[in-house]
Structure 1
Amino acid sequence: MTQNKRILVFRFSALGDVAMTIPVLWSFSRHYSDYEIWFVSRPFAKDLVEPIPNIRFFPIDLKDRHNGLRGLFRLFRELKKSGGFEAVVDLHGVLRTHILTLLFRLSGVKTAQINKGRKEKEALTRKNNKIFKPLPSTVSRYQATFQKAGFVFEMVSFPGKKLYDSEQLISNNASDNRTKEIAALFTGSEKDLTIGIAPFARHQWKMWPLDKMWDLISRLDNGNNQIILFGGRGEEQNKLEEWAAQLKKGTTFAGQLSLGEELRLMAKLDVMISMDSANMHLASLAGTRVVSIWGATHPYAGFYGIGQELEDAVQTDLECRPCSVFGNKPCHRGDFACMMRITPQLILKKVTNKIVSPQ
């Protein structure tokens, strides 16, 4: 890269939150093509940022090298040693990034930190005197943080399917068995829909009960629908493999693909069914329509998938919703009505209420 001007951007986790930085970084790169972006995050984020022009990924090791206060000072020295930055943009806003941002500010670098809107979110989710209104999206909060640092730009259309191109993933000339298996899903006989399903979330109050999900999957497993199940390693992988084995046209690659490969696979879907989870954000990045299922959380908190239509968010109207920003608080009512009242028929109607053309 030949750029002389550089900025430093922090966003360490979680996967969904990191995914929401990508459209903002893309838009910045379109408007400020003479800048190099140093993006500091956990190693998994490398596949997400790779397609963005003028970006350099710097992996952070919070378990060892960059752990604790001493590790943060080491990270600061490593970044300083690499050369000068015109600005530091903190999109995370946690103690670690507060310390790093302070160190750079004391060394004379312009800094900006995200306003997470904690008071607004508390008002939206509290049990009594709830203020129920849409809050700024996380993407817009990221954009506003760049603006604080002096970088004003409009968001531009994010070309997800072009950036996360699936052709290499499904090439018929592939040599390894796994890639051949993926390619076979998109060749041969005519299909109705290729449907991705991601039934898991980090917190249980964001998860639709698995018996209801299996009911839905069984209903979708008909005709020429192709079902691909998404999830992580361990228990999630075991459950998805168990389900896939019972389907006529179902499969899962859980625990087998890199994040970049998963994005490329998602780009080939006609629709993804997911929770309010990282998979909703990944499928959105890949340019795929998502029918998302919401329980304790709500799109109004600002974490909806970029480019998705609000009518594709499946949720029940209850006065207690939302009761949590992240889905990590137990149900106020004790009956988990927000999820229990969502039926497989309701999801099925959402999936099929539009004519979805294969990509």
Structure 2
Amino acid sequence: MNQKTKILIIRFSSIGDIVWTTPVIRCIKQQLPNVELHFAVKAVFKDVVKANPYIDNLHLLTKDNLNDLIKTWKTEGFDYVIDLHKNIRTTKIKWKLGVKSYTYTKLSLQRFFFTRFQLKVMPDWHIVDRYMKTVEPLGVKNDGKGLDYYFLPEDEIAKDTLPLALQNGFDCFVIGGSSYTKLLPFNKMIELCDKISKPIVLVGGKEDSETGDKLAAYYQQKALTHPKGSTPIIVNYAGKLTISQSAWMVKNAERVFGHDTGLTHIGAAFHETVYSIWGTTSPIGFKPYCKNPVIFENNNLNCRPCSKAGRDSCPKKHFKCMTDIEFNF
């Protein structure tokens, strides 16, 4: 009987980065014989991988349990640690466990010069492919089947329970984002919604609920004052669903539009085309990992990108990276 190979994959956050690891998870499990696969993630993001059938054991990081996790991992007898996060915390984990480890190429220096000085030194090498490169020494290759996202039954929303306006099809607009400069201004959100002919479902986190309500109210008022016009139907689910329930809405949409944020990237697990919006950040290496990613961005600026993860305000005060975007689709 062949002895099991035990592998721990680490990617603690965030939603998009975690879903980008799913090809690694699948390919390891399918291509290596007799593998027991463990995955470590922050508890707040467990939805992204909790139903993944290729994971044998899920380890959840909380604010104060890292040392307990390390003690548990020492008893597991892992053969390999795959570090797809690469920070001080994961360096500590690898040192403490003392087993063979592989760490992905983060390109931190290139991203610094790209976002700080706008030097074109960032290779167009998608993070998914960098993750896959990390496990090549184990004999694992990218199978080209894209991203995965799996659901538990309680995450699935029956279509006949949706508002009648959505039951014949809808598009999805992911209105959330981790920072101000990754979000369209409200008037640009309206401009985008005006171009979408289908009913629109809004998804996002609790912090996006107010914006979603405002957008829905705007179109309700517009329908009253322009009854003969063509007014989009907006249904706001931002802040009202779990991550996986929101992902279910993304899956069942006919088209997905969204900012550079996790739910937009989840859309690439289900759709060949995903429409993504980029302001202060750049899609180079991070665009939706699907067959036909459509990118909305303003390439006529010498100050962009100015951040790898977004900012609280535009350093130049004009915010043209978002205000001058054109929606051509």
TM-score class, shorter-chain normalisation, is 0.7 to 0.9
Structure 1, residues 259-287: CA drift from partner, whole Å, max 9, x if none? 22222221111111111111211211233
Structure 2 counterpart of 1:266, which letter?
V
Q: Determine which of 223, 226, 230 is the counterpart of 2:203.
A: 230
CA distance in structure 2 between the partners assigned to 1:241 and 1:51 by the alignment = 33
Alpha-carbon spacing, 1:286–1:43, altered in 2? closer, same or farther (3 Å): farther
How many Å separate the matches in 1 of 2:148 and 2:103? 27
- The one-letter code of the counterpart of 2:60 is P
Equivalent residues of 2:166, 2:199 under 8 A apart: no
Residues 329/147 of structure 1: CA separation in 2 closer, same or farther (3 Å cut) = farther
1:171 positional shift: 3.5
SS of 1:299 mapped into structure 2: coil
Q: Which residue is equivalent to 1:314?
A: 296
1:147 is displaced (CA, Å) by 2.7
87, 100, 103: which one pairs with 1:94? 87
The 3 A distance-change label for structure 1 pair 243 and 268 is same
**CA distances 1:98-124 after superposition (whole Å, capped 9, x unpaired):** 10011112xxx1112222011221232
Local SS of the residue matching 2:26: helix
Q: Does 1:141 align with 2:125?
A: no
Deviation at 1:240, TM superposition (A): 1.0
Distance 1:244 1:55, change over 3 A: farther
Gaps of 5+ in 1: 67-71, 173-179, 351-359
User: 1:154 aligns to what?
Assistant: 142
Task: Give the secondary-structure state (helix, strand or coil) at the position aligned to 1:126.
Answer: helix
Q: Is 1:75 aligned to residue 69 of structure 2?
A: yes
Match of 1:182 in 2: 162
Deviations 1:221-252 (A, max 9, x none): x5xx221001111x411221232244462212
Matches within 5 A, 1:48-67: 48-49=48-49, 50-61=51-62, 63-64=63-64, 66=65
TM-aligned CA deviation for residue 340 of structure 1: 1.4
Give deviations 1:48-71, integer Å, cap 9, x for gaps.
22233243211111x23x2xxxxx
Tell me what 1:293 maps to.
277
**Percent identity of paired positions between Structure 1 and Structure 2:** 25
1:241-260 equivalences in 2 (<5 Å): 241-245=213-217, 246-247=219-220, 249-260=233-244
- Aligned residue pairs, count: 314
Equivalent residue, structure 2, for 1:335: 318
Whole-Å Cα distance in 1 between the matches of residues 79 and 55 of structure 2?
15
The residue matched to 2:303 in structure 1 has which SS?
coil
SS at match of 1:112: strand
State how far apart, in whole Å, the 1-side matches of 2:282 and 2:246 are.
26
Equivalents in 2 of 1:341, 1:99: separation in Å?
A: 44
Matched, 1:325 2:321: no
Q: Name the stretch that deviates more: 26-35 or 197-206.
A: 26-35
Tell me if 1:85 matches 2:78: yes
TM-score by length of 1: 0.78
Question: Matched residues in 2 for 1:37 and 1:341: separation?
Answer: 46
The verdict on how the C-alpha distance between 1:169 and 1:232 changes in structure 2, with shifts beyond 3 A counting, is: same
Alpha-carbon distance in structure 1 between the residues aligned to 2:152 and 2:233: 24
How far has the Cα of 1:184 moved from its partner? 4.6
Letter in 1 for 2:110: E
Measure how far apart 1:131 and its partner are: 2.0
Equivalent residue number for residue 211 of structure 2: 239
1:164 and 1:286 in contact (8 A); partners too: no
1:171 equivalent among 152, 155, 158: 158
Structure 1 residue runs of 4 or more that deviate by more than 4 Å after TM superposition: 163-168, 183-186
Normalised by the length of structure 2, the TM-score is 0.85
The one-letter code sitting in structure 2 at the alignment partner of 1:242 is K
